[in-house]
Structure 1
């Protein structure tokens, strides 16, 4: 089944040939009821084996194609949704895509399982989804936010959880990362979570999100250079950010610098 149609049929043909050769060399292996027509018995058995391999392999290929098509649709929807989220604030164009890419690279350096890396990548795409439920006037304000406006913006993590939770199974492991991506390692974040109580994926997102935010121009400030932003991330290791994640981030940046 798991070989697919082509490999399955090939394996069945090889098996039939091996049994046929053995039967020719050892005709005594046939039961008395088959002794009169061994060729017919072998033909029927071989045909059945190959046909079964063809049918079962075809079913597996169809399932694989369906899963692949579904995954492509899922990826497309996520990309569209990420662009919609970033479009809410014109100053964060493609921010979510960049955060997702950087977070996935950090997770890869940390040797996390593929499934966890994918959850982190998806969380990066959706981490700001709660902002679609915020005031556009506040999000697009051309000056620094006052305390009331800042408190309003901080609600986007909980709003993100509320928006994603009803989706259920598919995004079950993504919700906590979206909700906690503004928690600080020392407990000074939005909800006061600290250290390893914060999901690892959220600690990774925190670094990726902060770095990309720092290098992005805002209405009230010019973005920092990549070197300046990286220095700030390093400075905040142990306070705002998980030191282990920061080291992985530095590895990613070093590799990117060597390739450019």
Structure 2
């Protein structure tokens, strides 16, 4: 796929996520007034991103699109796409929390330098830093694709200005994350007493690796949120043993990768023998 098509598709997805009603949403009744969340309603996402970037290039960081987009305004020129993409990649490390699902970096003139969504590398306005700039003709070896009619062929400029009438329904292809692994890094141990010596128990240590999302959730022994984590990591989890000596204690741990429109889960049942 050419860089131009990739950038246009990513921009179209960002607009659909931040500015369109979800499928099945009801339009406001006549006479009612819909109030969009203000920046103060979006938590500390803007402050978190600005602190994480800690760059003199950044002038302001705001949260827009009903708390779904972080916009980073800079003092960079329109040609500084590489530096803009670097800021986007850095912001993506902390931005995707709550409802935030896109990052936009703009130049001093408000031109877009780079954009990103969870589970994908940021793209620069110059074509992901390689190849021909957006607008050039495809080169030999580009992936073949059917060309839509001119009236339906999106461009970055047209996508940015696109508006839809109230009540419009936009279908977005879900991004389903992949759980590369979710496993026991160290087995737990129950507290035991042997020959008068007390052996304290040990927690279960689990580790995971997920792609296609920036957030996972963990539940223990059934539904209910225990904690949220990043896409890669490990944690030491309590493993209480409430069975008689010699019996087997088990606990279940469910990891849920939070996708864009669809989640994916995996459950581990971990066992240890009581002393």
Under TM normalisation by the shorter chain, which class is it?
under 0.3
Question: What TM-score do the two structures reach when normalised by structure 2?
Answer: 0.19
Which protein shows a greater Rg? 1
- By percentage of residues, which structure has more helix? 1
Question: What TM-score do the two structures reach when normalised by structure 1?
Answer: 0.20
